[in-house]
Amino acid sequence: MSQSNAESGPKGASAEKYYDSTCVRCPRLAGFLDQVRVKHPTYECRPVAQFGRWNSPLLIVGLAPGLHGANATGRPFTGDHAGIMLYRTLYKFGFSSSPESRNGDDLELYGCLITNAVKCLPPANKPNAAEVNTCRSFLIQELATVPANGVVLVLGRLAHDSVVRALGSTLSQMPFRHAGELEMPDQRTLVSSYHCSRYNTQTRRLTQSMFNDVFSRVKELLS
């Protein structure tokens, strides 16, 4: 487990309820990781742990690890294109000690925890519905660590949908839209954004200015 993840979960709870490095509950994902491990023996190729501080006022939820990113490095949004905009923006808004996240560095997050709705690398970057549902037990526990008046920032529709279901709500009640805001229990707020993927940033579906606007609103909600 990385340095920024405590040996136990929030308030001394067992870390296993928030993260299990040996989880093989999804046969397709477990089998795929075995295949990738043979091709890339230096990669982590296991469920990716959360990164940051427990009980942080900001929880960021992506979809799943990337093949040459978090699956390789063991840190969410680290090692591939998806993390470039995210960590640059986290640094700009005071949530990170560095604008770049690199494998083996000493980067720290401030008041922020990053996770994925699905902890294991899926084939073609597309987990199926059963896998998303299976991994939601971890997500439910992660959401519970966000304190009153905190913010959950979801990146992309699939992450948004899983968080909504984890909250026991319906997608018709809490639909996805970029820069959308939805009320959660305990005066917490769910904020949604397009994912900072290579496709979205290169097609300018998501620009740096748009992402800055989302984070400006997050800071406002947390102030």
pLDDT (0 to 100) of residue 13:
43
Looking at the domain assignment, is residue 100 inside a domain? yes
pLDDT (0 to 100) of residue 9:
56
The rounded mean pLDDT for the chain is 92
Q: Name the DSSP letter for residue 11.
A: G
Looking at the domain assignment, is residue 206 inside a domain? yes
Separation between Cα atoms, residue 178 and residue 214, nearest integer Å: 9
Q: Is the pLDDT of residue 28 over 50?
A: yes
The total of structural domains in the chain comes to 1
Rounded average pLDDT over 18-24: 88
Looking at residue 214, which CATH number applies to its domain?
Answer: 3.40.470.10
Looking at the domain assignment, is residue 1 inside a domain? no
Q: Is the pLDDT of residue 3 over 70?
A: no
Looking at the domain assignment, is residue 41 inside a domain? yes
pLDDT digits (tens, 9 = 90+) for 81-104: 999 999 999 999 999 999 999 999
- Close Cβ partners of 202 (under 8 Å, ≥ 6 residues apart): none
Q: Is the pLDDT of residue 215 over 60?
A: yes
Separation between Cα atoms, residue 138 and residue 166, nearest integer Å: 10
Rounded average pLDDT over 66-70: 97
Looking at the domain assignment, is residue 12 inside a domain? no
Separation between Cα atoms, residue 100 and residue 62, nearest integer Å: 17
Q: Identify the domain containing residue 211 by its residue range.
A: 20-222
The pLDDT-based confidence of 173 (bands split at 50, 70, 90) is confident
Looking at the domain assignment, is residue 7 inside a domain? no
Give the closest residue to 218 by CA, choosing from 100, 103, 112.
Answer: 112
**pTM for this structure?**
0.93
Q: Is the pLDDT of residue 8 over 80?
A: no
Looking at the domain assignment, is residue 122 inside a domain? yes
Q: Is the pLDDT of residue 106 over 60?
A: yes
The pLDDT-based confidence of 185 (bands split at 50, 70, 90) is confident
Looking at the domain assignment, is residue 4 inside a domain? no
pLDDT (0 to 100) of residue 18:
74
